[in-house]
């Protein structure tokens, strides 16, 4: 089954039929599941690159994992080393507070929540991998963010207190170029010193 759709000129994966089948399979075993999606799926919902997997916070067991695998097999979405829906994000990040996510789909046995995009940015800045900084940089440029301290304040408001500001500045530098970053440093030297 082809789940690739065109949305605003971008390719994306329509996960609704996948979640519907997951709900049906959960109903067959009389289990309920609530997931809090983060990562690429959330970014896709905001117009960024398509993803074939869904990183989510959820409690699992062998029975739940078997159902998730079955659904992924039906849609040919599983990879040899990873199933389409996984909670490995829990190994690297803490579960977001309820104030940072909202329901996307509510079925009889499955609730699919999505985190705010800012929460994904905070997760990516804390991890600070090259690809994560590239994603944050793309978001910054796409949304015309030009105030690093404002973004930092927003991220701290949702619980990200350990972001390395140099990583944030690096993302802004990649978004707008070294000249922009140099000017920002000159104009905000005293404020930047508070973070060193």
Q: For 80-108, write each residue's pLDDT tens digit.
A: 888 999 998 888 888 899 999 999 999 99
107 and 128 share a domain? no
Distance CA 189, CA 183 (A): 10
Percent of the chain with pLDDT over 70: 93
Q: How many domains does the chain have?
A: 2
Find where tokens 């309920």 sit.
Answer: 32
Q: Where are the beta strands (DSSP E) in the chain?
A: 4-7, 10-13, 33-38, 54-57, 85-86, 101-106, 110-115
Domain of residue 103 covers 4-115
The per-residue pLDDT for 196 is: 66
Residues 22 and 99 grouped into a single domain? yes
| Residue 58, both tokens | 């959820």
pTM for this one?
0.84
Tell me if residue 16 falls in helix, strand or coil.
helix
**pLDDT value for 18:** 95
Would you place residue 11 in the very low, low, confident or very high pLDDT band (cuts 50, 70, 90)?
low
- In the three-class reduction of DSSP (H, G, I as helix; E, B as strand; rest coil), residue 138 is classed as helix
| pLDDT, tens only, 104-136 | 999 999 999 999 988 999 999 998 999 889 989
């Amino acid at each position: 089954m082809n789940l690739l759709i065109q949305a605003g000129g971008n390719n994306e994966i329509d996960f609704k039929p996948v979640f519907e089948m997951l709900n049906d399979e959960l109903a067959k075993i009389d289990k309920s599941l609530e997931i809090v999606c983060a990562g690429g799926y959330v970014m896709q919902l905001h117009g960024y690159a398509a993803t074939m997997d869904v990183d989510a916070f959820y409690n699992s067991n062998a029975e739940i994992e078997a159902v998730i695998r079955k659904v992924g097999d039906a849609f040919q979405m599983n990879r040899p080393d990873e199933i389409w829906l996984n909670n490995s994000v829990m190994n690297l990040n803490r579960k977001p507070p309820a104030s940072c996510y909202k329901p996307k789909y509510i079925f009889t046995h499955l609730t699919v929540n999505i985190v705010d995009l800012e929460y994904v940015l905070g997760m990516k800045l804390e991890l600070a991998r090259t690809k994560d900084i590239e994603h944050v940089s793309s978001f910054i440029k796409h949304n015309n963010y030009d105030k690093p301290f404002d973004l930092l304040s927003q991220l701290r408001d949702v619980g990200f207190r350990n972001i390395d500001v140099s990583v944030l500045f690096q993302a802004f530098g990649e978004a707008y170029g070294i000249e922009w970053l140099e000017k920002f440093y000159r104009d905000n030297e005293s404020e930047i010193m508070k973070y060193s």
